[in-house]
Amino acid sequence: MMQLRHIAQRDAKLLSFLRQELGLSSTLVKRIKFREAYRVNGQVVRTNFPVKAGDLIEVCLDEPTPEYPAQEGRLEILYEDQWLIALDKPPGLLMHPSSCRNEGTLANYLLGYYQKTGQACAVHPVSRLDRDTFGVVLLAKNAHVHAKMMEIAQKEGLNKVYHALVYGCPPEDSGIIDAPIARREGSSLLRCIRPDGKEAKSAYRVLEKRGKAARLELKPLTGRTHQLRLHCSHRGFPILGDPQYGSEESQAFSLQFGFPHQQLCAFSLSFPHPLEEKQVEISSRQDVSLDFLPTEDI
């Protein structure tokens, strides 16, 4: 059972403690009150219960099982505690089911893992990756922790670092790409750089150059769909293996060396833990490499 526990230091209605000391959102307070989630000194109570100083408040954050099926599948767990789990997602794996596909996604496999290990959790992505992007993904085990992680992200406390192989190389060793992103007309998925788009900024640093390719460190300073892929393409160094935003030259080069998917890895993630006093740093066991090229120019 996932529980928040608190010893009251004052007299007040339970709702006051739920919103202030325990930090539950008003939406969550309303959502779980019908699950007998609130207890004071072991007694099931309502949110208007009068709490006295010294009383033990407990909130059960167990979640109902999602509607999509739980499945057994391989998961590479990089980090796990009572509240969060981080996985090393392989390329080619969708994050969650859709109206077109209800099985065979990371969410199906994670739900299967939760059921196998007796955890009453749901799947709440904190970070998301495109199907063919690989590396660290972070998920909260319940809605409360997910909301806390979103607050951290909004305060720029969620530090994401990506590694990418690109065709060409930036003229400077480091810099900021500032180019607004909008939905491409006639497409529900693809995006484009457009003056009327939403603000989008990415930081880059050159890690290595070899021949016609380079290895970059990328940090998204905003969180737009396909942001890193678009920004690299816009600046003239598209990510290798990218079928949507690559140039003719980069796609021919990718085909020559047999890249089956975009060479973009969510390499590391760091953040202050939402419920524990510690900094969490997680790194992928995967990465991108220029070793496919000889050391001399080709």
Catalytic residues: 130
- The pairing of strands 201-210 and 191-193 is unpaired
pLDDT at 65: 83
| Domain assignments of the chain as residue spans, ordered by start | 3-60
Homologous superfamily of domain range 3-60: RNA-binding S4 domain (3.10.290.10)
pTM above threshold 0.75: yes
pLDDT at 296: 58
Dihedral sign for Cα 105, 107, 108, 113, please. Answer: positive
Distance CA 194, CA 279 (A): 37
Dihedral sign for Cα 108, 109, 110, 111, please. Answer: positive
Residue tagged 């160094």 (tokens): 237
pLDDT at 205: 98
Per-residue confidence of the chain (298 residues) as pLDDT tens digits?
789 999 999 999 999 999 999 999 999 999 898 888 999 999 999 999 999 999 999 999 998 888 899 999 999 999 999 999 999 999 999 999 987 888 999 999 999 999 999 999 999 999 999 999 999 999 999 999 999 999 999 998 999 999 999 999 999 999 999 999 999 988 778 999 999 999 999 999 999 999 999 999 999 999 999 999 999 999 999 999 999 999 999 999 999 999 989 999 999 999 999 999 999 999 999 999 999 988 754 4
Phi-psi region of 41 (alpha: psi -120 to 50; beta: other; left: phi over 0): left
Residue among 123, 125, 15 at smallest CA distance from 67: 123
Where b means 16+ CB within 10 Å and e means fewer, 214-228 reads: bbbbbebeeebebbb
Distance CA 101, CA 110 (A): 16
Beta strands in 156-259 (DSSP E): 159-167, 174-178, 181-183, 191-193, 201-210, 213-220
Residue among 85, 82, 103 at smallest CA distance from 94: 103
Q: Which helix (H) or strand (E) holds 134?
A: strand 134-140
Cβ pair 184, 225 in contact under 8 A:
no
The first and second tokens of residue 47, run together, are: 């949110």
Task: Determine the straight-line distance between the first and last CA of the chain, rounded to whole angstroms.
Answer: 58
